[in-house]
Structure 1
Amino acid sequence: MTNPTYYEALKWASLCIEEHKLETESAQWLLLERLNWSTTDLLMHYQTKMPEAEWQQFQIDIKSFCDGMPAQYIIGHAYFFGMQLKVTNATLIPRPETEELVEWMLESLPQNENLRIADIGTGTGAIALALKQERPNWQVFASDISEDALSVAKENAVKQQADITFLVGDLTEPIKKMEMDVIVSNPPYIAENEQDVMDKSVIEYEPHQALFATENGLSLYRRMIQEMAQFKQLPQAIFFEIGYQQEIAVMEMLMDTFKSTYLIEGKKDSFGNQRMIQAKL
């Protein structure tokens, strides 16, 4: 095909994607994000011929998407809580369910107190950045075992002009001698035997270190809870994102470890799945 119009290019891309039984809406998303255009910009240029460089890049993007690469990795960013965040193969792509966890925290925690919050396993920094954006008076810390992931999170913090303290280390190790009011974590929680029901693109492109955990996906919750029990001062609140079948198991860990110290409750996401737990003193 010689250089098509933008309309013709989108039609071609949609057909390619449809043949691979993927979401055809991704063709327009990829084009708009690559060009930093709005839908209005696209409509105004529908019948305009694409420049050669743009057409070549669009073909590469569509081929990558049809080969299974997530659109966010192709473009290099994703959206979370109204922020555009850099993503790489060192980080998970932030999910809508995690936005709901942030919303729950904002609803549950006192707005005007100068809380100290630790985001364990921060990845792109999504949770930490969203909390700091919404509650500038909170002091936010973010840790990860992956230095590559932390590098991405730091870039995102600079872009968002967010004052966050980043720490490298395994789970609660970086904060064990610090007094935190709130700890939040969206750790790896997928069991290895669940790969058969996962999207191929997730398995092939997203970092396994950030996806999978032993003990049917529960091992990192158990470790974090045991480590927090050794803190000199317990946090006022703990928030976890969990797998949709893990609520009872994680709640039992919290109750067995902390007895009646915390009031523990779960919350469903917008799809009706149990995906969040909070424990409050």
Structure 2
Amino acid sequence: RKPHASINYVTSHDGFTMLDLVSYQNKHNEPNKEDGMDGTNENYSENFGIEGNSDDPVIVGKRIKRVKNYLITLMVSQGAPMFLGGDELLRTQLGNNNAYCQDNEVSWYNWSYNTHSDEIGTFLKRLIHIRKTTPCLRRKKFFSGDIIAETGTKDVHWFTPEGKAVSYSEWTDPGFKAFSTFISGLDAASQPEKAISPDIYLLFNAGKQSVEFTIPDSLESEWEMAINSFDSLESFPRKFSGRGITLPPDSSAILRSISHRNAKD
């Protein structure tokens, strides 16, 4: 099987919407009149301090950033991305994760945009553009981690924040919350239409503290900040200089090469 046989998603018709995934700690299926027995209890969600809707700007900011993290992760994953309709509008089902029987405001779309839904819609459009214009995010083959014969470099590298290769002990450590990934754009044979692609450098910080990342010296490309989950959308893309970048807690970023110089293994 090839990557296009893999369907990747964060939310689907079953379970929480993406907004509810960051707004509710528990399901709220009482309107379904099944005594709360329906719908899964394992939602892997977080409400950031208040159950349900909140006007607290700090909580809202954390929720919006988490949604952006989900969207970034989905759009850089190899395979076919699937979105739940309405997530781009920040649709809510008021914490109901089994709303099949709710032919009312719980399951209907609210087409009235607000500041945050418009922000997420625009953010998603930008991510789609990045994916469409970066062939190495739409590979025809899964990563092997092996050396690409034509370039002498690996198709994918995994790094610690210090820029060192991730070890087995780090991969198996539940406290290992921050890492980066380099995806080579030079593996043309594995990419759509055998096209050379910009390189991609992904950074993830799932921890509760800011993390300083160092781009390894072996990655000699020049970079632009294509998008991240914590800066204003109007600031992208912008040229990135230097070898260090700080990611705030619970955040992610995509750097894309603007020049091609072979990454040394």
TM-score computed with the length of structure 2 as normaliser: 0.31
Q: Which has the higher contact order (CA 8 A, sep 6+)?
A: 2
**If you compute each CA radius of gyration, which structure gives the higher value, 1 or 2?**
1
| TM-score in terms of structure 1 length | 0.30
Larger proportion of helix:
1
